Amino acid sequence: MSRSCIAGIGSYVPPRVVRNDELAQLMSTSDEWIRTRTGIGERRFADAGVYCSDLALEASRNALEDAGMTAHDLDFIIFATISPDHHFPGTGCFLQAKLGIESIGCLDVRNQCTGFLYGMAVGDAFIRSGMYRNILVVGAEVHSSALDFTDEGRDVAVLFGDGAAAVVMTPTQDPRRGILHSELHADGRFTKALFMSVWDISRKPFMTPEVFQTREIWPKMDGRSVSKNAVTKLGELVEDTLHAGGVDPLDVKYVIPHQANLRINELLAERLKFPPGKFLSNIEKYGNTTAASIPLLLDETYRTGKIERGDLLLLIAVGSGFTWASSLLRW
């Protein structure tokens, strides 16, 4: 049976840079507070009128170009986001139309910060089963429309940024390449530790003016609980994934972790005794771009020439749900 591999990768971030000092004009925060607690210096915000599928379109074009393909070569689209263009239909359908193609299947993955890795695992299974050949997996977010830029929302608002990244997955017979192992996990007992209650289908009607007055339209987070869970679950995940993939930690060239908080990733690297420089980061420039975070960092790493054919990479993420996931692959 053939493996699946990444045949092309691309990303796109909106041009507007929002530095910590700009946020400090809207709420009681500071560049110093944000940098020391999260590692974030700036992020990108999309302008009004820009959809998640618009960012995804640019990223997808870049990934297709890198793969030497056109959109007509695609057999399936998997779209990971928690900031869809609309509640329905799925954003994959909007992207498909913008790519100028029709008829191929589109699947939206609503799995928060692990959405991209869940999407890659689904794509990997489709390719290994022979069901599809060329699959576009996208992670994209426009968070900036759904953040509370007041003192009440400052704990969450300073963390997130907008962006998109995509990969084209294909089958490979090359023994030096491909996905070796994926892990997908969730623990639904913690659904409300990082949660947005605005869409509540048990309410009749589901949306009322009170939703705005009670500030339910904004995301809420128990930062300590998220942080503690992230370090514990990521530690177990790294060990389990390397064991299942039958590889030595020393053979991993880079760990590409989800960019939620620099402190979480530094603490994790220290606990796992990974040498400095093995855990990569770009959170300083983009903040947390949720489903886009891992492919955005992977694309930057690839485009700066740091990855060679056959390099062993470990992609790990933890997020709301709680969910946690990994992908161990040879580039």
Which residues have a catalytic role annotated? 113, 258, 288
Residue 139 near residue 116 (C-beta atoms within 8 A): yes
Rounded to whole angstroms, how far apart are CA atoms 295 and 292? 6
Residue 242 within binding range of ligand ACO, rule CB under 6 A = no
State which residue, 33 or 274, has the beta carbon closest to ligand ACO: 33
Q: How far is the CB of 29 from ligand ACO (least distance, A)?
A: 3
**Angle between helices 293-303 and 115-129 in degrees, nearest 10:** 80
Of the candidate residues 288, 289, 323, 326, the single one contacting ligand ACO (CB under 6 A): 288
Query: Which residues lie across from 330 on neighbouring strands?
Result: 178, 312
Which lies closer to ligand ACO via its Cβ, residue 181 or residue 258?
258
Query: DSSP for 261-275?
Result: -HHHHHHHHHHTTPP
Instruction: Find the binder of ligand ACO among 9, 158, 291, 294 (CB under 6 A).
Output: 158
Residue 111 as a binder of ligand ACO (CB under 6 A): the answer is: no
**Could you give the CA distance from residue 142 to residue 45 in angstroms, rounded to a whole number?**
7
Contact segment (CB under 6 A) with ligand ACO among 29-37, 85-93, 196-204, 271-279 equals: 29-37
194 near ligand ACO, judged by CB under 6 A: yes
> H or E element: which one contains 120?
helix 115-129
Binding-site member from 136, 319, 329, 331 for ligand ACO (CB under 6 A)? 319
| Nearer CB in complex with ligand ACO: 154/177 | 154
C-alpha to C-alpha distance for 200 and 185, rounded to whole angstroms: 25
| Closer residue to ligand ACO, CB minimum distance, 158 or 169 | 158
- β strands within the chain, DSSP E: 3-12, 17-19, 42-44, 76-80, 105-109, 135-141, 163-172, 178-186, 194-195, 220-221, 254-257, 312-319, 323-330
CB of 289 to ligand ACO, least distance (A): 10
CA distance 289 to 80: 12
How far apart CA 184 and CA 318 sit, in angstroms, is 10
> Which of the residues 53 through 92 are near ligand ACO (CB under 6 A)?
none
Q: Is 193 in the site for ligand ACO (CB under 6 A)?
A: no
Residue closer to ligand ACO, measured from CB, 20 or 172: 20
Binding to ligand ACO by residue 230, rule CB under 6 A? yes
Q: Which residues would be at the binding site for ligand ACO (CB under 6 A)? A: 29, 33, 37-38, 113, 154-155, 158-159, 194, 221, 223-224, 226-227, 230, 260-261, 288, 318-320
